[in-house]
Amino acid sequence: MGLVKTELFSVNTLQRNLVWFRNIIWPNELQMHKIKTCVIVSSEDHIVPSKEIIRSINQHNDENPNDSYIEIHEIQGSDHGGIVFEEKYRELAALIIQNSIQNC
């Protein structure tokens, strides 16, 4: 964790050159380009609005029941960055991704 906070290029990218609001991708954009997407959020994330993301993707999937390209998965108990720093959540995310790839 210390490396992420102190490594020069990571800090520069995250704090200065990555403008978060310019990197938003909406479900309809993924749908329009037919991009198969697996979204994983953490249930206890206090930075990313997980519940709103889940609601938005579920609404999109309800509106496109036969041809949605987006899957949403919530990792219960994980907080922000849990899949990076905790092995049990990392293994669960890897399993979700593996299953998603197999179902393509």
Assess if residue 76 is contained within a domain: yes
User: Where are any strands of DSSP class E within the chain?
Assistant: 37-42, 70-75
Assess if residue 60 is contained within a domain: yes
Taking a C-beta distance cutoff of 8 angstroms, is the pair 67, 103 a contact?
no
**Structural domain boundaries, residue 51:** 25-102
Assess if residue 3 is contained within a domain: no
Assess if residue 5 is contained within a domain: no
Q: How many domains does the chain have?
A: 1
Assess if residue 18 is contained within a domain: no
Cα Rg of the chain (Å, integer):
15
Assess if residue 92 is contained within a domain: yes
| Per-residue pLDDT at 21 | 72
Assess if residue 9 is contained within a domain: no
Count other C-beta atoms under 10 Å from residue 31's C-beta. Answer: 18
pTM, entire model: 0.76
pLDDT tens-place values along the chain, 104 residues long: 555 556 666 666 666 666 667 778 889 998 899 888 999 999 999 988 999 999 999 999 999 988 888 999 999 999 998 988 899 999 999 999 999 888 76
Assess if residue 16 is contained within a domain: no
CA 60 to centroid of chain Cα atoms: 16
